[in-house]
């Protein structure tokens, strides 16, 4: 894959993940404010319960952002598009779908 195309894909993915993380942080603040609100028409436990699920999603997004950063580093050092496990090339079709891919499809299927 051409470097310019890889940079474009990684940039778009980085922006997408950063926006999702920012949106989650904004919603978290709103949920906290709602949970602290007075009144009997609001179940304050609901936002706090959802927070546990959100923490899992936030963690996955942070892991995704770290994968994008590793891919950007590989791009800078000439290792982009090469499996970090086997050294085999990762097909461009896979990188188009997942620009932060670190493994070939077969290796990803075998991953523990």
pLDDT in tens, 13-71: 999 999 999 998 887 665 555 555 565 555 555 666 666 678 889 999 999 999 999 99
Q: Is 84 exposed, middle or buried (0-12, 13-18, 19+ CB in 10 A)?
A: middle
Distance CA 65, CA 70 (A): 9
pLDDT bucket at 104, cuts 50 / 70 / 90: very high
pTM of the complete model? 0.78
Distance CA 87, CA 75 (A): 14
CA angle 1, 107, 104 (to 5 degrees): 10
């Amino acid at each position: 894959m051409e470097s310019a195309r890889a940079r474009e894909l990684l940039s778009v993915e980085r922006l997408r993940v950063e926006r999702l993380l920012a949106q989650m942080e904004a919603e978290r603040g709103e949920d906290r404010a709602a949970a602290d609100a007075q009144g009997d028409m609001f179940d304050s436990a609901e936002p706090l319960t959802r927070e546990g699920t959100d923490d899992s999603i936030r963690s996955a997004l942070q892991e995704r952002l770290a994968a994008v950063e590793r891919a950007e580093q590989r791009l800078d050092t000439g290792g982009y598009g090469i499996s970090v496990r086997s050294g085999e090339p990762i097909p461009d079709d896979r990188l188009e779908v997942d620009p932060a891919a670190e493994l070939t499809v077969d290796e990803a299927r075998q991953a523990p």
